[in-house]
Amino acid sequence: MPPEYRDLVEQSTYGHEDRGWKDIGNSKELIEAHSLCAGCPESMAFRYILASLPNPEDTVMVGSTGCTSLVFPMVAVHNIHSLFGNQNAVASGLKRALTVRFPDRIKDVVVLAGDGATVDIGLDMTLQAWFRQEKFTTICFDNELYANTGGQESGLMRKGFVAKMAPTGKKFDKVRLPEIARESGCCYVVNLTVSKPSLVEKVIKNAVLLAREVGPTYIQLYTPCILEIGKNSMEGLQEMRDSEKPGERFNYKEYITDEAKQYLADLDAKKKSAVIPAAQLTE
Amino acid sequence: MANELSETQKSQIGKQNKKGQTYTDPNHLFFKAPRTAAFYTGSEVIKEAIRRASVDVMVAYPITPQSEAAALIGELYAEGYVADYMRGESEFAVMGQCAGAAFGGARVFTTTAGPGTMRAMENFPMWVGSRLPIQMIVTCRGINSPLSIQPDTLEMYFLLGTGMLMWHAETAQDFFDWMLMGYIVSEQPDVHLPLALCCDGFFVTHTKDTVMLTPPEMCLPPYDPYRSPVVCMDMESPPVRMMRDPFIMKSNYISYMTHASWQEETRAACERSRKHTIPLIGGLIETENVDAEILIVASGTAVSQGREAIRLLEDEGIRVGLVKVKSLRPFPFEELREATKNAKHIFVPEFNVIGWLATELKAALPDNHRIIAGPHVAGGMTMPAEVIVRKNSDLSGVFGYYAAGVS
């Protein structure tokens, strides 16, 4: 067995209940060296998310075409890339198959795709999965444009931004997908940047745990494409901090249903009582 | 070896599912189990085949003429014969949902037709490249504008290059048998490809026919996803990275070579299906009187009309042979060359305007001036046997020649 594989088995955090972003640097990560641009905030987002999955040993991820699909081959959980925009349809079928095949076990399904895949070409399937209350998490890496094809206008781009295919500036507002997600049946919706790893960890854990039992969840993360907005490699973090200030488009925003709130509170209470074996927490 | 089961599947034989059906050795089910005659529509026959197919997930969407069959599978789900069932939002999404379920290790079934097949088209080469043994019934209908819901096999032309296995059923009996046999072929480790099982909409789906059914208390052994030549996406295998380097989208030789060799492999897998298919469906083609100098070569219900034409021609003293093409992918090159070696004139009646079967034959057979494409009927027009007879006479004059006793 190659040493990299042995490292993965022996030193990764599979099966650790309290795994999180602080394991980064101490244990073998589930993402190998990424293939994104130097300084790309997507690479930070990938690392935080993979470190925060509550159950990676039984998690299958579904991606889509774009920069993220260049990274998934380096990720050590099973992941599916098939077409552009079909991720929530694939995840619907996958979650159902895993539920049929493993009725007594938890198999988490997590979708991770860019804004073009989530909001433009795949919007139909994104929304329909939520209408149907399919029990998986949808994560959108929102870089406000098509990055992998070279910086074209997307539905999540700001109004007025000049880009390829928007040569005189984008003519309509950034699509309000978090609000649409709330109205479409998601029990937990968060809009944020990846500037604060602890926050990302908490949000991802909540989203995956809630999707198991309560209903679909949606997380929109600002992962600016520094290349296409004319920034340098070291400026990604500052760009995220600037865009999360009050009144800015990525100021932290959360919608949670009462049922979801109660579910998280119950989980918390069980955890605090601590005598209950961790395995029962999710039953 | 042809049509082997895995040890896991063999261990299920003789056991009962939750509906009390017995998992039965496929060869016993197909060739030895007692059969009972039933008078059913094609749609009802699809339901009866799925009742016996141990399907895990079916994804449905309404489009004429497959809607009835798709809804009938919903009844099977409600009765507990299918583990999960859902209505998708469009055929593109449906085929994605089917893919997801198959990636997750389920035996998957769906049905589509006409514009729906076209809408879903992006998925089919993906299913092939991902080695997903999904079974899709295609109840062919028009895809032209103005809108038509009528029988027309033009959509099959577009499926020919996807890499899927493609069979063309003539009758409801073909359908019943081939659906069950299709899963066994599709799921072989050296095949592991999706199957497009096509029929002519309405002519097969909406007409009643006598069909010999296997006992409802017997069903296929369940799918074993761990026979797949690629990893089942259920996190049950060790957590290795699927690829160590994302070479897939790089522009370099090893990337090109990877794509080229995988496409070759999926096509080779389709060819390898022959040895599993031939003993089950009795050959990729079926022949009658191919020593005759005039042949009709057809697939689907055009075969039935060809048979009628042959009977009419016999009354006039003209002997005509018949070749029924059952499998289009893999394409029966050798079988067709052998079957047509004596023919001087090969007529190819089709239910589509372009004559794709004639095009395929012209590329496959020597001396292809022998091939006379037609008649072609489209848009829902029927093909009376007299049309085949008259068309042939008009086009070539050969029938008059033979009828005059000159040889």
Domain limits at B376? 285-403
The whole-number pLDDT of residue B378 equals: 87
CA–CA dist B185, A5 (Å, integer): 35
Instruction: Using the CB atoms, write b or e for A116-133: b if 16+ within 10 Å.
Output: bbbbbbbbbbbbbbbebe
Is residue B385, in this structure, part of any structural domain at all? yes
Q: Is the pLDDT of residue B214 over 50?
A: yes
Of A74, A82, A98, the CB nearest to B104: A98
Instruction: Give the mean model confidence (pLDDT) for residues A140-162.
Output: 96
Q: CB distance B97–A92 less than 8 Å? A: yes
Q: Choose from B242, B244, B255 for mutation: most chain A CBs within 10 A.
A: B242
The whole-number pLDDT of residue B245 equals: 54
Is residue B76, in this structure, part of any structural domain at all? yes
DSSP-derived pairing of the beta strands B285-288 and B320-325: antiparallel
* Confidence band of B27 (pLDDT split at 50, 70, 90): very high
Query: Do residues B169 and B303 share a domain?
Result: no
Instruction: Give the mean model confidence (pLDDT) for residues A131-142.
Output: 98
Is residue B240, in this structure, part of any structural domain at all? no
Asked if residue B119 lies in contact with residue B91, where contact means CB atoms within 8 angstroms, the answer is: yes
Query: Do residues B151 and B78 share a domain?
Result: yes
Of A56, A58, A93, the CB nearest to B98: A93
Q: How far is A59 from chain B (nearest CA, A)?
A: 7
CATH number for B221 = 3.40.50.970
Q: Is the pLDDT of residue A39 over 90?
A: yes
Q: CB distance A80–B233 less than 8 Å? A: yes
Q: Which residues of chain A make contact with B86, given a CB cutoff of 8 A?
A: 92, 96, 132
Return the minimum-mean-pLDDT range out of A4-8, A27-31, B57-61, B63-67: A4-8
**Rg from Cα positions in chain A:** 18
Is residue B295, in this structure, part of any structural domain at all? yes
Q: Identify the closest residue of chain B to A56 by CA–CA distance.
A: B235
B130 close to A (CB below 8 A)? yes
Q: Is the pLDDT of residue A280 over 80?
A: no
Q: What is the pLDDT of residues B223-237, one digit of tens each?
A: 999 999 999 999 998
B101 close to A (CB below 8 A)? yes
Q: CB distance A80–B83 less than 8 Å? A: no
Task: State the number of CA atoms in the 13 A half-sphere of A243 facing the CB.
Answer: 22
Q: CB distance B104–A60 less than 8 Å? A: yes
Q: Which residues of chain A make contact with B237, given a CB cutoff of 8 A?
A: 78
Q: CB distance B93–A60 less than 8 Å? A: no
Q: What is the pTM of this model?
A: 0.94
Q: How far is A127 from chain B (nearest CA, A)?
A: 10
Q: Is the pLDDT of residue B405 over 60?
A: no
DSSP-derived pairing of the beta strands B135-140 and B195-200: parallel
Q: Choose from A71, A87, A92, A106 for mutation: most chain B CBs within 10 A.
A: A92
Residue ranges per structural domain of chain A: 3-257
Is residue B197, in this structure, part of any structural domain at all? yes
Q: CB distance A94–B233 less than 8 Å? A: yes
Q: Is the pLDDT of residue A40 over 70?
A: yes
User: Which of B185, B205, B227 is the last residue before a domain boundary?
Assistant: B227
Q: Identify the closest residue of chain B to A90 by CA–CA distance.
A: B100
Return the minimum-mean-pLDDT range out of A270-274, B280-284, B401-405: B401-405
A3-257: which CATH topology? Answer: Rossmann fold (3.40.50)
B98 close to A (CB below 8 A)? yes
B240 close to A (CB below 8 A)? yes
Return the higher-pLDDT residue of B318 and B398. B318
Percent of chain B with pLDDT over 70: 93
User: Which of B227, B244, B276 is the last residue before a domain boundary?
Assistant: B227
Task: Please name which of A118, A114, A25, A11 lies closest in space to residue A66, comparing C-alpha atoms.
Answer: A114
The alpha carbon of residue A129 and the mean position of all alpha carbons in its chain are separated, in whole angstroms, by 16
The whole-number pLDDT of residue B266 equals: 97
Q: Identify the closest residue of chain B to A55 by CA–CA distance.
A: B235
Q: CB distance B106–A96 less than 8 Å? A: yes
Instruction: Give the mean model confidence (pLDDT) for residues A246-250.
Output: 96
Q: Which residues of chain A make contact with B248, given a CB cutoff of 8 A?
A: 73
Print the SS3 string covering chain B. CCCCCCHHHHHHCCCECCCCCEECCHHHHHHHCCCEEEEEEHHHHHHHHHHCCCCCEEEECCCCCCHHHHHHHHHHHHHCCCCEEEECCCHHHHHHHHHHHHHCCCCEEEEECHHHHHHCCCHHHHHHHCCCCCEEEEEECCCCCCCCCCCCCHHHHHHCCCCCEEEECCCHHHHHHHHHHHHHHHCCCCCCCCEEEEEECCCCCCCEEEEEECCCCEECCCCCHHHCCCCCCCCCCCCCCCCCCCHHHCCCHHHHHHHHHHHHHHHHHHHHCHHHHHHHHCCCEEEECCCCCEEEEECCHHHHHHHHHHHHHHHCCCCEEEEEECEEECCCHHHHHHHCCCCCEEEEEECCCCCHHHHHHHHHCCCHHHEEEEEECCCCCCCCHHHHHHHHHHHHCHHHHHHCCCC
Q: CB distance A90–B105 less than 8 Å? A: no
Element (H, E) at A109: strand A108-114
The alpha carbon of residue A29 and the mean position of all alpha carbons in its chain are separated, in whole angstroms, by 17
Query: Do residues B306 and B158 share a domain?
Result: no
The whole-number pLDDT of residue A34 equals: 85
Q: How far is A91 from chain B (nearest CA, A)?
A: 6
Q: Choose from B77, B130, B235, B254 for mutation: most chain A CBs within 10 A.
A: B235
Asked if residue B329 lies in contact with residue B165, where contact means CB atoms within 8 angstroms, the answer is: yes
The whole-number pLDDT of residue A188 equals: 98
Query: Do residues B329 and B189 share a domain?
Result: no
Find all residues with CB under 8 Å of B137, minimum gap 6, and list them.
B46, B66, B69, B109, B110, B111, B112, B175, B179, B197, B198, B199
Q: Which residues of chain B make contact with A71, given a CB cutoff of 8 A?
A: 246
DSSP letter at A166?
B
Q: Where are the beta strands (DSSP E) in A149-269?
A: 188-193, 217-222, 253-256
The whole-number pLDDT of residue A275 equals: 60
Q: Which residues of chain A make contact with B246, given a CB cutoff of 8 A?
A: 35, 69-74
Asked if residue A112 lies in contact with residue A118, where contact means CB atoms within 8 angstroms, the answer is: no
Q: CB distance B104–A125 less than 8 Å? A: no
CA–CA dist A97, B225 (Å, integer): 11
Q: Is the pLDDT of residue B402 over 50?
A: no
Q: What is the tally of structural domains in chain B?
A: 2
Task: Please name which of A137, A141, A149, A156 lies closest in space to residue A62, comparing C-alpha atoms.
Answer: A137
Percent of chain A with pLDDT over 90: 82
Distances from the Cα of A134 to the Cαs of A128, B70, B400, in angstroms?
9, 21, 66
CA–CA dist A124, B297 (Å, integer): 44
Query: Do residues B223 and B317 share a domain?
Result: no
Return the higher-pLDDT residue of B400 and A242. A242
Q: How far apart are the first and last CA of chain B?
A: 47
Instruction: Give the mean model confidence (pLDDT) for residues B365-391.
Output: 88
Of B94, B239, B244, the CB nearest to A77: B239
Query: Do residues B46 and B120 share a domain?
Result: yes
* Confidence band of B406 (pLDDT split at 50, 70, 90): very low
Query: Do residues B59 and B149 share a domain?
Result: yes
Q: Is the pLDDT of residue B308 over 90?
A: yes
Q: Choose from A74, A98, A108 for mutation: most chain B CBs within 10 A.
A: A98
Instruction: Give the mean model confidence (pLDDT) for residues B192-199.
Output: 98
Q: What is the mean pLDDT of chain A?
A: 93
Instruction: Give the mean model confidence (pLDDT) for residues B371-385.
Output: 88
Asked if residue B351 lies in contact with residue B200, where contact means CB atoms within 8 angstroms, the answer is: yes
CATH number for B348 = 3.40.50.920
Of A14, A60, A97, the CB nearest to B101: A97
How many CB atoms are located within 10 Å of the residue B257 CB?
11
* Confidence band of B328 (pLDDT split at 50, 70, 90): very high
DSSP-derived pairing of the beta strands B327-329 and B165-168: antiparallel
The whole-number pLDDT of residue B324 equals: 98
Q: What is the pLDDT of residues A164-217, one digit of tens each?
A: 999 999 999 999 999 999 999 999 999 999 999 999 999 999 999 999 999 999
Of B106, B130, B245, the CB nearest to A97: B106
The whole-number pLDDT of residue B398 equals: 47
Q: What is the mean pLDDT of chain B?
A: 92
Instruction: Give the mean model confidence (pLDDT) for residues B28-52.
Output: 97
B250 close to A (CB below 8 A)? no
Q: How far is B150 from chain A (nearest CA, A)?
A: 29
Q: What is the pLDDT of residues B79-138, one digit of tens each?
A: 999 999 999 999 999 999 999 999 999 999 999 999 999 999 999 999 999 999 999 999
The whole-number pLDDT of residue A17 equals: 84
In terms of C-beta density within 10 A (0-12 exposed, 13-18 middle, 19 or more buried), how is residue B65 classed? buried
Is residue B263, in this structure, part of any structural domain at all? no
CA–CA dist B83, B85 (Å, integer): 7
Asked if residue B69 lies in contact with residue B139, where contact means CB atoms within 8 angstroms, the answer is: yes
User: Which of B160, B193, B227 is the last residue before a domain boundary?
Assistant: B227
Q: How far is B397 from chain A (nearest CA, A)?
A: 52
* Confidence band of B243 (pLDDT split at 50, 70, 90): low
The whole-number pLDDT of residue B407 equals: 31
* Confidence band of B394 (pLDDT split at 50, 70, 90): low
Element (H, E) at A141: strand A137-142
B125 close to A (CB below 8 A)? no
Of A93, A96, A102, the CB nearest to B96: A93
Instruction: Give the mean model confidence (pLDDT) for residues B175-188.
Output: 98
ipTM of the complex: 0.93
